[in-house]
Homo-oligomer: A and B are copies of this chain.
Amino acid sequence: MKSAVGTGSVEAVEAVAAPEVTPTAGVGRVTEAPAAWLRDNCPCEECRDPRSGQKLFQITELPAGLAVGAVAEADDEGTPSVEVRWEPDGHVSLFSVAWLDANRPGLSGGAGDRRTEAGKELWRAADLAGRVPEADWAAYRTDPVERARMLEAVLRLGFALLRDVPRQEGQVVAVAETFGFVRETNYGTVFDVRVEPDPNNLAFTSARITPHTDNPYRDPVPTLQLLHCLENSASGGDSGLVDGFAAAALLREEDPAAFEVLARTPVPFVFRDDRTELRADRPLIEVDPHGRIREVRFNNRSIGTLRLPAAELDAFYAAYRAFGELLLRPGLQLDFRLAPGDCLVFDNTRLLHARTEFEQNGSRHLQGAYADLDGLASSLAVLRRADPLDLLAELFEGPGAEAYLGEQVTMAEHMLQAGALARDAGAPPHLVAAALLHDVGHFSGPVTGEELMAGTDNRHSHTGADLLARWFGPDVTEPVRLHVAAKRYLCAVEPDYRAGLSAASEHTLQVQGGPMTAAEAATFARLPYAADAVAVRRWDEQAKELGADTGDFASFLPLLTSLARG
């Protein structure tokens, strides 16, 4: 079977083509694995503290000439495993076949760096129509599912909006403490955004503030910002958010040279008042070692004097202006108005925020605080541990077992087949999960799969991905989100593909927008999870066989549980 899985190593391609995992396959995985890597992952109690999970040995303590000696199938209290005896020191490691399989070298996907664009859903304003992530404070506080939904939105979309947060001074700290720790700065633990008689920052005037990130002169920059609206009766003072990652990706597409200039030029950002003198030298667009967008800084107010040769200054200013113009382009900015009690939580390394000028004919008072993404991500991961997968099991047993949606198999059978096809192809766990769960959105949104068949696009890929984010990260949710787009993509780029669609799938293709244009296909192919979505799509199309042998939902539970728990 041809597959988009794998990042290119020979081992990975062979693995994907392999049959269902057996202990024998586990022995093969050990033989293929780099020795130092495998030994560094030895789970025994001598190598890894059973209490903290931390490694107990130094990399320098591994013997010279380390190599796998004897390898044998083993059974570790019922878990299929492989025992490895190491040369030259005779150390013995026991690896489960499931671990060897899930972590085999060259496998694509997995968590990766979720701070980069690869872990995000990039958006323009229209993409969020009807799905701005918001929750009522009372529900957020008491319902872990609501809290997880909001925290996940901050990681994926860059923000979440809490409503009806008590309008008390200092309450913004209580909001931050639901997921992490306040980062105190020279502005205090909490800062007041209102008109000040002697402001040390333009934020504390009534002036218009164009899209910007905060505190670029601080290093490390605060990665999260909270803004809690206590009063907003002035005319004007409306809010806006721009996805800086989406804007940077657009710049890379339209003007790659300008993107490169901004990514390689450290810019001095400065702030100075009576008690403070901050300076940080960081690029406007920061990329990771693979060139993926990781942080965006943009703040015209605090860019200091660049010192570069004249030709480089010319190139920088042209690129800076191009990015600035792009950020103001219609359609990017989500406009809204903070009502008293609203608390906005957003990723200050990604989203730019703005406000319109306001008249001093009323009162406008926000309280803000800074915090950090790492604490928020930790809180979300711990919440996901506690959220059982019962709802998914119920979807498979209840509505999924009853709906056919134009095929000869039920939706539950269809999804179980897709998951089994992925598992049997040796796909990594996150893709098995994505294949298994790709259609749950037919049952979880306000518009049903029946209505899709009747001609209304129920956007089930989005509602499904949003539901799955309760338990899973983007490596599971984003292939699901893109699996409808992947059909439109494949119909555009593979002439034979469309002919193989089932009648029902051809029918819904029309409702979903038909094949992509060449430009849409090129954009799709560059998305971080495009290849994974294509793989899911291929299993999706094959998973319509009457009476296939798949195992039931419970047979996938160990895999789903291990993914859900990090």
A→B interface (CB under 8 Å): 7-9, 11-12, 32-34, 36-37, 40-41, 49, 51-60, 62, 103, 105-107, 110-115, 181-186, 198-202, 207, 210, 218-221, 223, 263-266, 268, 272-273, 275-283, 288-290, 300-303, 305-311, 313-314, 316-318, 320-321, 324-325, 328, 372-375, 377-378, 381-382, 385, 566
Contacts and interface: CB of A to CB of B under 8 A. Distances in A.
Given A58-B300, A377-B278, A382-B277, A309 B201 contact: no
Contacts of A377: 278-279
Contact of A33 (B33, B207, B268, B310): B310
A431 to B, nearest CB: 13
A490 to B, nearest CB: 26
A49 B373 CA distance: 32
Q: How many copies does the complex hold?
A: 2
A268 B105 contact: no
B37 A301 contact: no
Given A321-B59, A324-B58, A107 B32 contact: no
Nearest to A217: B374
Contacts of A55: 300-303
A216 B133 CA distance: 31
A325 B60 contact: yes
A348 to B, nearest CB: 11
A52 B313 contact: no
Given A32-B310, A60-B328, A105-B308, 19 more contacts: A33-B310, A34-B310, A36-B313, A36-B321, A37-B316, A54-B302, A55-B301, A55-B303, A56-B207, A56-B301, A105-B307, A113-B281, A114-B279, A181-B183, A182-B184, A220-B221, A265-B289, A278-B374, A281-B288
Nearest to A278: B378
B40 A111 contact: no
A275 B179 CA distance: 11
A200 B317 CA distance: 50
A41 B186 contact: no
13 contacts: A34-B314, A51-B199, A52-B201, A55-B302, A60-B321, A103-B307, A106-B308, A111-B281, A219-B223, A276-B382, A277-B385, A277-B566, A278-B374
B52 A372 contact: no
Nearest to A279: B111
Nearest to A308: B105
A310 B310 CA distance: 45
B309 A276 contact: no
A49 B220 contact: no
B106 A52 contact: no
A316 B182 CA distance: 36
Contacts of A183: 181, 183
Given A185-B181, A317-B40, A220 B374 contact: yes
B52 A202 contact: yes
Contact of A310 (B105, B113, B265, B289): B105
A422 B290 CA distance: 43
A9 B303 contact: no
Contacts of A103: 305, 307
A505 to B, nearest CB: 33
Contacts of A374: 218-220, 278, 280
B107 A307 contact: yes
A318 B34 CA distance: 11
Contacts of A107: 307
A313 B37 contact: yes
A404 to B, nearest CB: 39
A110 B307 contact: yes
Contacts of A317: 34, 36-37, 40, 59
Contacts of A372: 220
B182 A382 contact: no
Which 3 interchain pairs have the tightest Cβ spacing? Answer: A220-B220, A9-B309, A113-B281
